[in-house]
Amino acid sequence: MNWVYLGIAGLLEIAWAIGLKYTEGWTKLVPSLITGLLMIASFYFLSLAVKTLPIGTAYAVWTGIGTVGAAILGMFLFDEPRDILRVLCIFLIIAGIAGLKITSAGLCITL
């Protein structure tokens, strides 16, 4: 269940990161309230996940999910750059997230 909580926290992080754009510097009331609630919910689910997951793994995966999601949505919603190097870097972040999940499951040989 801890990985489910972490996934929910990551999805909520994507939502609040995108929400920040719509707050226009916290000057728009409704987007600001929604973004604030999404932040609280994201931190809540992260706190549930770190009850059993290592903090370093959970935090890295949480921020990785948020980074990848915000970068991809930024490309589609805000017409941010879509160059090949940027996309490659996003895939590297995804590989890092997958690697942390694999190593936390004990599927790797330790050195």
Residues 44, 59: Cα–Cα separation, whole Å? 13
Would you state the pLDDT for residue 32? 98
pLDDT digits (tens, 9 = 90+) for 54-110: 999 999 999 999 999 999 999 999 999 999 999 999 999 999 999 988 888 665 555
- Please indicate, yes or no, if residue 82 is contained in any of the structural domains: yes
Q: Domain of 18?
A: 2-104
Distance between alpha carbon 83 and the CA centroid of its chain, in Å?
A: 21
- Please indicate, yes or no, if residue 109 is contained in any of the structural domains: no
- Please indicate, yes or no, if residue 37 is contained in any of the structural domains: yes
- Please indicate, yes or no, if residue 96 is contained in any of the structural domains: yes
The closest of 1, 99, 109, 107 to 50, measured between CA atoms, is 1
Would you state the pLDDT for residue 86? 95
Number of structural domains (the chain) is 1
- Please indicate, yes or no, if residue 83 is contained in any of the structural domains: yes
- Please indicate, yes or no, if residue 49 is contained in any of the structural domains: yes
Higher pLDDT, 38 or 101: 38
Binned at pLDDT 50, 70 and 90, residue 23 comes out as very high
φ, ψ dihedrals at 108, nearest 5°: -105, 155
Q: What is the pTM of this model?
A: 0.87
- Please indicate, yes or no, if residue 59 is contained in any of the structural domains: yes
Would you state the pLDDT for residue 104? 80
- Please indicate, yes or no, if residue 111 is contained in any of the structural domains: no
